[in-house]
Structure 1
Amino acid sequence: MNVRLRVDYASQRPAPGRRTLARWAQAALAGLRRRAVAIGVRIVNERESAALNARYRGKAGSTNVLSFPFEAPPGARTDLLGDLVICAPVVAREARNQGKSPRAHWAHMVVHGIMHLRGYDHRTRREAALMERREAAVLRRLGYSDPYA
């Protein structure tokens, strides 16, 4: 599958490079029956994350990753799967607080966000269990441990 990733760095915090993000995205898209996929990724600060979280989820404060699946109008064909917004300071803080390597946590956030773009969710225990198993399998293939263990 051809994966096109557009990455916009809008945060001063360190974040993985485009190649690394693309490798993680490719792994998270394995098994998706499409010839090509386009995904936008925006790395943001806490202020932008909080504004988007409030506007689109009705929740206060910044969050680690937001996913915006793209729904094409009826009859339209596109490779666009959607966009991810990842908050660099939140990811760094969570990694530190959870005793995880920053790289492993970044990989998890990319995989988690793409699972949402693919239609997975965690609103119920059953949905969460399925999504977590999928994420853990992808991360294991990438050489990272299960983030839910």
Structure 2
Amino acid sequence: MTEETAIETHIAVLSDLWEGLPEAEHVVRRAVVAVGRTPGITLPPDAELSFALADDEQVRVLNRDYRAIDKPTNVLSFPAAHGTLLGDVIVAYETLEKEAVEEGISSADHLAHLATHGLLHLLGYDHDTEAEALAMEQLETAILAGLGIKDPHASGRMMPGESHA
């Protein structure tokens, strides 16, 4: 771990589909650094993060088994119970690609948003209420702006993980 990252990030590529976004690991690491540098966010000492680049089927199974929702979603976060591991963030490739096309944004920018969103969940942020959603959106917008990524909520799109039915 370096001072620049503040969070030791372990990335597992679980699907060959991610070859379609060869810069994915770099994008995730940049997003993690940006979150760690955000004023007001306090990271535990020696924080670690597990990040998985998966496919829709892998995420569907996790979503079914842990959330009783039998369909894929773009990002899942599983907080760790204790220790230095913050938890796991898993992103589904096909859903990420589909949403990026629908929203007219690059896949890399959408991945940065999903990585940021997932990590914020592990740090205790949520969007269960309108006030929480607004606070989380503002934080995401500020973090992503620091990466040169436009406001993902400007057009009123949903939070990552919400139903796009």
CA contact (8 A) 2:9 2:48 kept: yes
Q: Deviations over 1:91-121 (max 9, x none)?
A: 0110001111111101000000011001111
- Determine which of 96, 110, 117 is the counterpart of 1:91: 96
Shift of 1:127: 0.7
- Determine which of 31, 37, 42 is the counterpart of 2:47: 37
Where 1:144 maps in the other structure, the secondary structure is coil
Amino acid at match of 1:40: S
Q: Aligned pair in 2 of structure 1 residues 45, 33: CA closer, same or farther (>3 Å)?
A: closer
Q: Normalising by structure 2, report the TM-score.
A: 0.82
Equivalent position of 2:33 in the other structure: 26
Structure 2: gaps (5+ residues)? 155-165
CA contact (8 A) 1:29 1:114 kept: no
Whether 2:128 is the aligned partner of 1:123: answer: yes
Where 2:144 maps in the other structure, the secondary structure is helix
- Determine which of 60, 74, 77 is the counterpart of 1:67: 77
CA distance in structure 1 between the partners assigned to 2:123 and 2:78 by the alignment: 10
Equivalent position of 2:161 in the other structure: none
Shift of 1:71: 1.6
Whether 2:141 is the aligned partner of 1:136: answer: yes
Structure 1: gaps (5+ residues)? 73-77
Shift of 1:37: 1.4
After TM superposition, where is structure 1 displaced by more than 3 Å over at least 4 residues in a row? none
- Determine which of 24, 40, 63 is the counterpart of 1:53: 63
Percent of residue pairs identical: 32
- RMSD across aligned C-alpha pairs, in angstroms? 1.3
Amino acid at match of 2:122: L
CA distance in structure 2 between the partners assigned to 1:145 and 1:20 by the alignment: 15
If each structure's strand is expressed as a fraction of its own residues, which one has the higher value?
1
- Determine which of 110, 129, 132 is the counterpart of 1:105: 110
CA contact (8 A) 1:11 1:45 kept: yes
CA contact (8 A) 2:77 2:87 kept: yes
Where 1:36 maps in the other structure, the secondary structure is coil
CA contact (8 A) 1:3 1:22 kept: no
Shift of 1:132: 0.5
CA contact (8 A) 1:43 1:87 kept: yes
Q: Which deviates further from its counterpart, 13-22 or 109-118?
A: 13-22
CA distance in structure 2 between the partners assigned to 1:35 and 1:5 by the alignment: 14
CA distance in structure 2 between the partners assigned to 1:105 and 1:33 by the alignment: 24
CA distance in structure 1 between the partners assigned to 2:43 and 2:111 by the alignment: 25
